[in-house]
C-alpha cells in the first residue's frame, strides 16, 4: 500500500537501514538513500523494519552520489519490495525520456511517486518555481522542489510558491537548502508542504541545512 502523503509526513533520511529502529519515535517513514549505500539492494533484501520506505537513488548531477549505469534499474528492483511504499525520481530524468517504465511499475504496485527537482546552486525565479512544481505534479503523486537559498528573499519565494500550489490542492514537498533557507524545513509545512526530511543523527545529514529528526518533529508539530 502506498504512502498517501495526504498530510505532513516526516521522513528519516538515511543510507543505513539499521537506523530505522532509532527513527520510529519521530518519523512516519524512512527515506532510503540508495545512492549513498554500499549495497542498497542487499540492504532492502534484509530489511525487516516497521517503517515504510521511500526509495531514492539520486544521481551526482542532482546532488546525489550515484555515478555510472544501472540507477533506474536499481529503483525498478527496489519498488518490488513490499516495504517500499514510495519512490523519488527526478523531473529531469523523466523529461529526458528515462524512467517511464519505472513509473508504470510503481503504479501497478501501488507505490507513490515523488517527482523531484534539486537545485544545489541557487533558487530559480518565482515563476520558474511554479512551473517546476506544476510539471512535477503532472506526472507524480507529490511534486518535490528543493532549492538553495542565498538569502531570506529566496526562502520567501519558495514559501509563496508552496502556498500557491497547496491552495489549489496540489501535493507538494518543498524546502530551501543552506543556512539562509534552513527555517523553511520547519515552516514550509505550515504553507502546505507534505514531506519533511531529517537525519536521525545530525552528523549524518543528507542535504545542507537539515535539522535532526527529533528537532524537526518538535518544530513542525508546534507550528501545525
Q: CA-CA distance, 110 to 2, in Å (whole number)?
A: 5
Could you tell me which of 60, 15, 23 has the C-alpha nearest to residue 39? Answer: 15
The catalytically annotated residue of 26, 144, 165, 183 is 144
The catalytically annotated residue of 98, 100, 118, 165 is 118
Does the annotation count 118 as an active-site position?
A: yes
Q: What is the DSSP letter of 207?
A: S
Could you tell me which of 205, 160, 218 has the C-alpha nearest to residue 179? Answer: 205
For the chain, state the CA radius of gyration: 16
Q: CA-CA distance, 76 to 91, in Å (whole number)?
A: 17
Longest dimension (CA), the chain: 45
Residues annotated catalytic, as ranges: 118, 144
Amino acid at each position: 500500500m502506498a504512502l498517501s502523503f495526504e498530510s505532513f509526513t516526516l521522513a528519516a533520511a538515511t543510507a543505513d537501514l539499521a537506523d530505522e529502529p532509532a527513527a520510529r519515535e519521530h518519523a512516519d517513514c524512512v527515506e532510503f538513500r540508495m545512492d549513498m549505500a554500499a549495497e542498497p539492494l542487499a540492504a532492502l533484501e534484509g530489511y525487516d523494519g516497521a517503517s515504510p520506505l521511500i526509495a531514492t537513488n539520486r544521481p551526482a548531477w542532482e546532488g546525489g552520489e550515484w555515478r555510472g549505469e544501472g540507477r533506474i534499474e536499481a529503483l525498478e528492483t527496489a519498488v518490488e519490495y513490499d516495504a517500499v511504499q514510495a519512490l523519488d525520481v527526478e523531473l529531469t530524468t523523466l523529461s529526458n525520456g528515462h524512467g517511464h517504465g519505472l513509473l508504470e511499475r510503481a503504479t501497478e504496485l501501488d507505490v507513490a511517486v515523488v517527482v523531484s527537482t534539486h537545485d544545489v546552486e541557487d533558487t530559480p525565479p518565482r515563476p520558474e518555481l511554479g512551473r517546476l512544481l506544476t510539471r512535477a505534479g503532472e506526472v507524480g503523486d507529490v511534486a518535490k522542489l528543493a532549492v538553495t537559498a542565498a538569502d531570506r528573499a529566496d526562502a520567501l519565494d519558495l514559501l509563496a510558491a508552496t502556498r500557491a500550489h497547496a491552495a489549489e490542492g496540489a501535493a507538494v514537498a518543498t524546502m530551501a537548502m543552506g543556512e539562509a533557507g534552513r527555517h523553511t524545513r520547519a515552516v514550509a509545512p505550515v504553507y502546505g508542504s507534505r514531506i519533511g526530511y531529517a537525519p536521525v543523527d545530525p552528523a549524518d545529514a543528507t542535504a545542507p541545512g537539515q535539522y535532526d529528526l527529533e528537532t524537526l518533529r518538535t518544530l513542525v508539530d508546534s507550528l501545525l
